Structures are given as structure tokens and as C-alpha cells.
């Protein structure tokens, strides 16, 4: 696979697939992190005399006549961040767009309209892919968040663009995530929390051979406690996944890997309660309450496990952290991981990211993935469609 620093881009027109799927409220961008994250690749290309054609999706429009899904606000913000003009195209394909691309000079930037205004994007349609590919001298994928999607602007376009490569964001994901997947330094501790057991159990199974310790918290832990034969009261569990949890526990002990479950828990009446009701040991969870965070003794134990780590991969908060009454476990864990010295610390997952950001600790982690579904799929060991397409094009 090739990345942008291996390409001769001077004087070339680059079609750059970015992820500008930003949160918008009445046309105002709520968080421009994704736009800022693309600047490394864009500035690099502009400094080397390339012209940029930028494309992205935004939200889930069903037709072209939904102006609330226009990428115009992101073009305006990008212009501010780049300190140069960004022209907005009326569409992402078609004769008008082709004309604008033809007129583009080195150092100029053109933003295409929402890719998902065309049904061909999600269908990976040949004709649509061909039209996209024809716009560029070189296609650059810098959108890890959609790397697991076989969409036209991720996969199909690679077939038709004269040359293709990954951008710096994609490269970072590839290198950092690749390292914890295939060649981690030991001891390697995986922390798994959050609520979506069904999406996470495959990752744990895939990582089991590589890791030394797995720490489990959040609602995930409830299902594992159930698997251990404990009662979990009214807590959020995935009953259909208890079998998977039992299997993972058995497999882990067969391989001499340690799975650490909470020894004590903070419980409450419900997820919106103003205060916690108390802390209990994991084997005596009150019948009529919900487990909503890990307890203090558990935090101390997890800290001990983490103290010897050389690599840490974290996905999923330790509790219902959106409610301050149940945020302590996640926040303290963020502090603990951030405070580890000489350790490769990698984070994935939207909610885990929110915890770290709200503690102002983002800079103290080695790498925070920009992927959600793509992060999980990569960690399951699946070959992502984006990487597959880029690898094949590098062979051509």
C-alpha cells in the first residue's frame, strides 16, 4: 500500500476523500475536530504544488434536495483553517463539476458536495465511481472512519483513478492499530467497556492470543458477571451473549490469559438518578438496582494491572459516564492510563474519546483512533475494504 509521502504530487490534481461528517446544528459546526485532523495531509499537498478536490459524506440524506446535508459549512471552516479560498462545487459529479476541476490550478482547493446525495455512493456503483475517479490524477484516501465501508468514494473510485494512495491520517491508523494488532510490546493490556457487548466480543476473541490481560468494565462486565454465575439485579446485560462470555472466560484460562472483572460496583436506581445508592461487592448486587459504574476497589486493582503494561488498548467507558454520579470509574481510569510512562496507549470508540476529551487528556495518549466501526472491524483482524483497494492499486 502506498501513502501520500511516496507519491510525486507536484502539479497533480488530488481527489482527497476526507471524513467531514461533522455534527451540525442549524448549519453551525459543533465540533471541527475532523476538519482539523485532515489538515496535515491537505497542507502537505498544497505546499508541494498540488491542487485539491475534497470529497466527503455528511449525514444520511436520501435525495439531493436536502440542503441541511450540504458540505458548505465545512468548506467555510476549512478555508479559515487553511488560510486560503475554498471553492464550493454544486455537486460531486457532472459536467459543471468537471469544468470546475479542469479550471483548477496548483494550490487551489475545490470542495465537492455531499457524496451521499447520489445513491451510487453507498452502492459502490461503477458508473458513479468512474465519474469520481475521472476527476483526479491521484486519489487520496484519508477517511479512516469509513474504511470499513465498500462505498464508491472508498473502494470503487480506486479502480478508475490513475493512481491511489492513503493520506497521513490513514497512515497513522494503519501504523498504530497495526502494531497493537500484530506486534504489541508486552505486557499488553486490553481494556474493554461500554455497552455494546455484541460488537465487542469478536474483538476480544481476536485479540486474546496477543494480549496478556483483559480488563472488563462498563455494562460489558455485567454480562461477564452473569456468566460467572452472579446476579446482576436490574443492570443492563445482553443475555444472548452470556454464552459468548462463558466461552471467552474458558478460552482465556486455557491459554493462561487473565480476565479482570470488577470486584466492586457502584449501583443506583437508574441511569438518570441524581446520586448513586452505594457500592457493593460484585457477588452481592442488590436485586432492585442497576450497576452503573465500577467501584473504588476495582479501580485500585485495575491500576495495579496497568502499572506493568507496555501496551494498552482501551475501548469503552467503565460506566454510565454521561451521568456525573457514575462517571468516576471512567474518569479515574483515563487519568491512570494517561499517567503511564513509556507505554504505547491507544484508544478507540466515540464515547471513550468523550471521556478522555472531557478530562483534557487527549494529548497524553499515544494515539486516539478516528474510527468507530472501522476501528472495531480492524481490531477484529478483518481486512478493511479501503486498505484492500489501496493494496490492489499499488500492485497495478
Residues near Mg ion (CB under 5 A)? 350-351
Residues 320 and 292: beta-carbon distance below 8 Å = yes
Nearer to ligand ADP among residue 133 and residue 317 (C-beta):
317
Nearer to Mg ion among residue 11 and residue 350 (C-beta):
350
For ligand ADP, how many residues bind (rule: CB under 6 A)? 20
Q: Which does 320 bind (CB under 5 to 8 A by kind): ligand ADP, Mg ion, none?
A: ligand ADP
Q: How far is the CB of 200 from Mg ion (least distance, A)?
A: 11
Neighbours of 286 (CB within 10 A): 14
Site for ligand ADP in 164-203 (CB under 6 A): 194-196
Tell me which DSSP letter residue 285 carries: -
Q: Which does 196 bind (CB under 5 to 8 A by kind): ligand ADP, Mg ion, none?
A: ligand ADP
> Could you give the CA distance from residue 63 to residue 154 in angstroms, rounded to a whole number?
20
Angle at 173 between CA 172 and CA 177, to 5 degrees: 120
Q: How far is the CB of 330 from ligand ADP (least distance, A)?
A: 8
Q: Which of 64, 196, 251, 388 is catalytic?
A: 196
For the chain, what is the total number of helices (H) and then of strands (E)? 16, 17
Q: Is 236 in the site for ligand ADP (CB under 6 A)?
A: yes
In sign, the C-alpha dihedral spanning 341, 352, 328, 305 is negative
- The beta strands (E) that lie in 149-254 are given as 163-166, 188-192, 213-216
Mark residue 256 as left, alpha or beta (left: phi above 0; alpha: psi -120 to 50; beta: remaining): left
Residues 6 or more apart in contact with residue 194 via CB below 8 angstroms: 200, 218, 219, 220, 315, 316, 317, 349, 351, 352
Q: Which of 310, 373, 381, 382 is catalytic?
A: 373
Build a one-symbol-per-residue string for 309-348: x at contacts with ligand ADP by CB under 6 A, - elsewhere. Answer: ------xxx-xxxx--------------------------
Q: Is 385 in the site for ligand ADP (CB under 6 A)?
A: no
> Is 373 part of the annotated catalytic residue set?
yes
Q: Is 218 in the site for ligand ADP (CB under 6 A)?
A: yes
Q: Which does 219 bind (CB under 5 to 8 A by kind): Mg ion, ligand ADP, none?
A: ligand ADP
The cell numbers describing 188, all together, are 499488553
With cell 472491524, the residue in question is 377
SS3 192: strand
Measured in whole angstroms, the distance separating CA 19 from the mean position of its chain's CA atoms is 11
Nearer to ligand ADP among residue 12 and residue 330 (C-beta):
330
Nearer to Mg ion among residue 374 and residue 393 (C-beta):
374
Nearer to Mg ion among residue 27 and residue 350 (C-beta):
350
Q: Which does 298 bind (CB under 5 to 8 A by kind): ligand ADP, Mg ion, none?
A: none
Residue 332: strand pairing partners: none
Helix axes 218-227, 242-254, angle to 10 degrees: 80
Nearer to Mg ion among residue 94 and residue 350 (C-beta):
350
> Is 194 part of the annotated catalytic residue set?
no
> Is 107 part of the annotated catalytic residue set?
no
For the annotated catalytic residues, the residue numbers are: 34, 196, 350, 373
The residues binding ligand ADP (CB under 6 A) are 194-196, 218-219, 236, 271, 291-292, 315-317, 319-322, 349-352
Amino acid at each position: 500500500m502506498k501513502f501520500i509521502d511516496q507519491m510525486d504530487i507536484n502539479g497533480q490534481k488530488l481527489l482527497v476523500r476526507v471524513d467531514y461528517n461533522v455534527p451540525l446544528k442549524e448549519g453551525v459546526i459543533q465540533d471541527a475536530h475532523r476538519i482539523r485532523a485532515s489538515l496535515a495531509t491537505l497542507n502537505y499537498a498544497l505546499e508541494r504544488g498540488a491542487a485539491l478536490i475534497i470529497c466527503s459524506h455528511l449525514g444520511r440524506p436520501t435525495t439531493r434536495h436536502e440542503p441541511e446535508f450540504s458540505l458548505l459549512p465545512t468548506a467555510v471552516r476549512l478555508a479559515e483553517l487553511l488560510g486560503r479560498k475554498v471553492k464550493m462545487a454544486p455537486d460531486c459529479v457532472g459536467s459543471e463539476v468537471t469544468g470546475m476541476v479542469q479550471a483548477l490550478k496548483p494550490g487551489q482547493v475545490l470542495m465537492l458536495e455531499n457524496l451521499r446525495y447520489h445513491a451510487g455512493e453507498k452502492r459502490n456503483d461503477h458508473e458513479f465511481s468512474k465519474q469520481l475517479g475521472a476527476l483526479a490524477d491521484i486519489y487520496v484516501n484519508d477517511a479512516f472512519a469509513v474504511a470499513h465501508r465498500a462505498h464508491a468514494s472508498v473502494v470503487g473510485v480506486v479502480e478508475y483513478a490513475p493512481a491511489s494512495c492513503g493520506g497521513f491520517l490513514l497512515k497513522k491508523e494503519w501504523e498504530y492499530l497495526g502494531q497493537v494488532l500484530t506486534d504489541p510490546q508486552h505486557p499488553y493490556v486490553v481494556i474493554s467497556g461500554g455497552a455494546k457487548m455484541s460488537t465487542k466480543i469478536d474483538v476480544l476473541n481476536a485479540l486474546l492470543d496477543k494480549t496478556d490481560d483483559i480488563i472488563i468494565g462498563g455494562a460489558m462486565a455485567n454480562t461477564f458477571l452473569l456468566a460467572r454465575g452472579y446476579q446482576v439485579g436490574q443492570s443492563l446485560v445482553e443475555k444472548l451473549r452470556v454464552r459468548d462470555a462463558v466461552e471467552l472466560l474458558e478460552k482465556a484460562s486455557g491459554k493462561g490469559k487473565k480476565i479482570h472483572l470488577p470486584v466492586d460496583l457502584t449501583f443506583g436506581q437508574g441511569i438518570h438518578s441524581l446520586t448513586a445508592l452505594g457500592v457493593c461487592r460484585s457477588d452481592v448486587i442488590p436485586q432492585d438496582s442497576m450497576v452503573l459504574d465500577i467501584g473504588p476497589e476495582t479501580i485500585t486493582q485495575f491500576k495495579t494491572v496497568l502499572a506493568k503494561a507496555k501496551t494498552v488498548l482501551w475501548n469503552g467507558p467503565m460506566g454510565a459516564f454521561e451521568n456525573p454520579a457514575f462517571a468516576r470509574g471512567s474518569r479515574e481510569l483515563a487519568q491512570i492510563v494517561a499517567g503511564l510512562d513509556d507505554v504505547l496507549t491507544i484508544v478507540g470508540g466515540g464515547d471513550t474519546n468523550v471521556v478522555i476529551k472531557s478530562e483534557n487528556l487527549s494529548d497524553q495518549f499515544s494515539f486516539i483512533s478516528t474510527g468507530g466501526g472501522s476501528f472495531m472491524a480492524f481490531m477484529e483482524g478483518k481486512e478493511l475494504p479501503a486498505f484492500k483497494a489501496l493494496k490492489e492499486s499499488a500492485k497495478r
